[in-house]
Each structure stands twice: as structure tokens, then as C-alpha cells.
Structure 1
Amino acid sequence: MVISRRQFSVLGAGVAATTLSGAPTARAATRSRKPAVRNVVLVHGAYADGSSWAKVIPLLQAAGMNVIAVQNPLTSLADDVAATNFALARQDGPTVLVAHSYGGTVISQTGLAPNVAGLVYVAARAPEAGEDFTALSAKFPNPPVNSGIITSRGFKFLSRPAFIQDFANGVPRKEALELYAAQGPLSTAPSTTSVAAWHQKPSWYAVSKNDRTINPELERFMAQRMNATTIEVDAGHLSLVTHPEVIGRLILQAAAKS
């Protein structure tokens, strides 16, 4: 893992106000006057469901966080925004909003909710307001997964080879096949946001260096455009599955600093 920008150390045991062991540092406790962020809402992306966060959730819970994984219907951006807003409305206090992949579009739209303290993007889309993400992606080399996208009846999903080799690269085959069985088709309807919450909320970004679904250079571009605190993970698109400890620590860093 390579850490970049703002001299940010996601693995430093004494930096975060909260660690994976759940113990706040004394320095952070004495300095902070804001309410502690104890809530995390996780938003999955296309071709997945909330279970994609299964390895991250227990790490956050062990650190004392209240966690909800949204089950996006993926039937439209409006429907996914509604599902995420409902999850946010159930939180009592400041919340870190986290997204993987297409879920980044959802949190860019919903992240202006008053109780959202910070945004974390994990190999995620981070569109500007009104931006055509497909057009933005076309400015970068075509990711291999695109050749395996199948469109049918207003939805798109991945062929089995594309899912295993490109979407879930780096995931053990048995586990990748289980994730494939839970694949969530994504609506082909436009998913253009009207706002970009990352302009107003502190943001973090985990770039997947070996991503075959979103070009890593595009991820770096979006992270830099956001002025996000950025880490690079030696992982494919599903870093939340292959490197849950790293992603969990990033989320806790965001909670400590939001």
C-alpha cells in the first residue's frame, strides 16, 4: 500500500482518534470538542449488494461504531438515493458516509445531509454535479470489465468471466463465485447527480492500484479533484473484500477527523 497526499498514515496506531481496537487516543479525546462520530453508513455499488461489506462491518463494530449497510435496489439513482437517505435518517448523531464503486455517485448526491460528517470513497465514482461519468471515463484507458457488460431489459450486469477476472480480481475464486451469485444488476437509466457533496464535506479516497473495473488513473484524477485524503491499495476493484483491515482503518480515520 502506498500512502499519498497530506502525509496521511492510515496504519499509524497513534494517529486516529479511534482504532480498530475501539480505543480513542488521549490526545484526540482532549482536543476534540465536536461530537464523536460513531455512525457509519456503507453504500454498495453496481453488481453487488450490502454483503460486499461483510468483512469491513465487524471491524468497525469492534471499534465501537454503529454500522448500517444500505441495500440499494439499483433500479435508478433516485431509488438508491432514497434508500441511502432513509439509512441516514435513522442515525443518531454525526455519520461517516462510505461508498464503493457506483455507490460513490449515490453519496455524492446524498452527502449534503446535515448529519454527514465526512465521505469515504472506495474505488468509487466521484462525479461533479451534472457530469456524465461515461464521458469522463472515456478520457482514460478502457477498463477490461467493460467487454463483459451485458444489457437486458433496462439493466446491465456482468458475464461470469468478467465478474471473476475483472470485477473480483484478487478475490479467491470460491469467494468470487459467491459474490457473483449475489450480483445486483444496475439500471441503464442516467445516473447524473445534481450536487457534488465532496465540495462541502471532508473526503477520503482509497485508490485500487490493480482495478480492472474503474481505471486507477481515473480514480487518482477524481481523488485529486476532490482534494481527498488519499491512499493507494495494492488491490483490485474489491479492496473492501480483499483488504478489509485497510479499508476499515481508513473509515475510522475519517470518523476521527470529521
Structure 2
Amino acid sequence: MAAVMLVHGLYHRPEHFAVVAEHLRTAGTEVVVPELHRGSLLADTAAVQAAIDALLEPPIVLGHSYGGSVITGVCGARHLVYMAAFVLDVGESAAGLGGASPQLQDAISPEPDGSTSLHPDRAAATLYGDCPEPLAAWAVDLLRVQAPGCGRGVPERHSWKNTPSTYFICAQDRAIEPGLQRKLASRCTDVREWQTGHSPFVGQPSLIVELLQELLATTTSHGRDGGVTTTR
């Protein structure tokens, strides 16, 4: 069975991808949405790698925002999809590239234990500003506290250098500057641009579903045994 893996960003949960996952599963695609928040980029990457290794076929792996840092470090993906995400090179980290926009930085609230959370009103405007208010409120309610340091993590592997990749620029993003996204997108095989905010999987999930179904229909899968299977 064709498989897709959806990797969320900082502060987010797998539940943020619920609508996308439901539509793909209804169409017969296996969907895995790993939980991050393991305490570091390397630990998050290891969790996603374990989920990839457990699948029978190499999946299409989508990383959103910080999730791009995570999927950069995995191997065994059929195709990488970066959505408003970090495509890191040797020695780079999300924070080192500029990371959060000033608006997102203003939304971050420090917690006594060194972790951070997002101010609800500011998070709604920054992450889900193009969503109807009830939908944005639902997404904000799902956000969780974030352990420190993940954005400063440096991946040990750079999978985009040998795996086909697609970058989707979110041109109305208020969390990661579109200009930075365009620079990172130049590292990918294919680049497309949407007039969406930072989180189209919440506001316009059909866009994500259509993209992934297109890639499932046209990309080539390299099996675990090294054989090649092409889907049309």
C-alpha cells in the first residue's frame, strides 16, 4: 500500500493533520503521523526514522516548518515535501537561518522550566491568520508547550541531496518569512507557491491532499531491496 508520513512542526501535534490524514486514508493511502516533542532534533529525527523503517514501502514524507529540519535527517523516503519548512545544509539549524519571523517571536512566551508556549491570540494571527476564527481557535487549542533547543538542532544527514523533493512556499506566511522560504526552496527538485498562510493543512487541507495524491501517482519508489517501482 502506498504510504504518506506527515511530520508536524514546533508546538503542533499530529491532530493538526487530522483532516488531511482522513481524506488520504479514505482514498486508500496508509498515513502515519509521528508524535515529535522528543526533546531534541536528533531525538525527533530518530522517532520519524523508526516510523519510516516500520513501513513496508518507502513513504512520501512531508515536513512542515520545523518538521523540515526533521525530515532532512532521515533516509528511506520515496519523496520529500517541504511545506514552509527548513531545508538545512551542513552545519545549519533553523534558528541559525533566521528561524521565526518577528511576529512569531513576539507570540512566544517563556515558561519557568525553560520551555516555551505561544500566546493564544498571537498564535492565531501568526499561524492561522487565513483561517476562519472557529477553525483557528480549534488549532490554537491543540498547541502544546515546546521544549527548548529543538530549533538550534543540526541534522546529521541531508536527505534532500539524494532524494527527490518538492518545496511549497506559503506566500502569505507570517511565521517563516516567504523570502527565506524561497531561498531554501532553491535546494529542492521542484518548487511551487501557494497564496496561503503558514498552516494550509488547517485552512486549506484539500491543497495538501491534492499535492500528495499527485506525487503518489507520479513518483518512483525505491524498494527496501533496491528495486524500483514506478506508479502512474
Mapped pair 1:134 → 2:95: yes
* Further displaced range: 97-106 or 76-85: 76-85
Corresponding residue of 1:146: 105
Deviations 1:170-196 (A, max 9, x none): 122222222222213322223111221
- Asked whether the equivalents of residues 62 and 81 of structure 2 are also in contact (C-alpha less than 8 Å), the reply is yes
1:22-101 alignment runs, 5 A limit? 38-101=2-65
Corresponding residue of 2:127: 167
Structure 1: give runs of 5+ residues left out of the alignment: 1-36
- 2:86 counterpart letter in structure 1: R
Structure 2: give runs of 5+ residues left out of the alignment: 221-232
Select 2:147's aligned residue among 180, 187, 193: 187
Corresponding residue of 1:205: 167
- 1:62 counterpart letter in structure 2: T
Select 1:105's aligned residue among 66, 69, 87: 69
Secondary structure of the residue aligned to 2:97 is: helix
Deviations 1:19-66 (A, max 9, x none): xxxxxxxxxxxxxxxxxx711111111121001111211222233211
TM-score norm. by structure 1 comes to 0.78
Secondary structure of the residue aligned to 2:156 is: coil
Q: CA deviation at 1:164?
A: 0.9
Name the CA distance, whole Å, in 2 between partners of 1:215 and 1:63: 34
Name the CA distance, whole Å, in 2 between partners of 1:212 and 1:136: 16
- 2:175 counterpart letter in structure 1: T
Secondary structure of the residue aligned to 1:179 is: helix
- 1:157 counterpart letter in structure 2: S
Secondary structure of the residue aligned to 1:64 is: coil
TM-score norm. by structure 2 comes to 0.86
Q: CA deviation at 1:94?
A: 2.1
- 1:126 counterpart letter in structure 2: V
Change (3 A) 1:257 1:236: same
CA RMSD for the aligned pairs?
1.8
- Asked whether the equivalents of residues 135 and 203 of structure 2 are also in contact (C-alpha less than 8 Å), the reply is no
- 1:164 counterpart letter in structure 2: A
Name the CA distance, whole Å, in 2 between partners of 1:134 and 1:94: 30
Name the CA distance, whole Å, in 2 between partners of 1:166 and 1:61: 29
Q: CA deviation at 1:158?
A: 1.2
> Which has the bigger relative contact order, CA under 8 A and spacing at least 6?
1
- Asked whether the equivalents of residues 9 and 67 of structure 2 are also in contact (C-alpha less than 8 Å), the reply is yes
Corresponding residue of 1:17: none
Change (3 A) 1:186 1:228: farther
Change (3 A) 1:83 1:244: same
- 2:106 counterpart letter in structure 1: S
Secondary structure of the residue aligned to 2:95 is: helix
Name the CA distance, whole Å, in 2 between partners of 1:230 and 1:94: 22
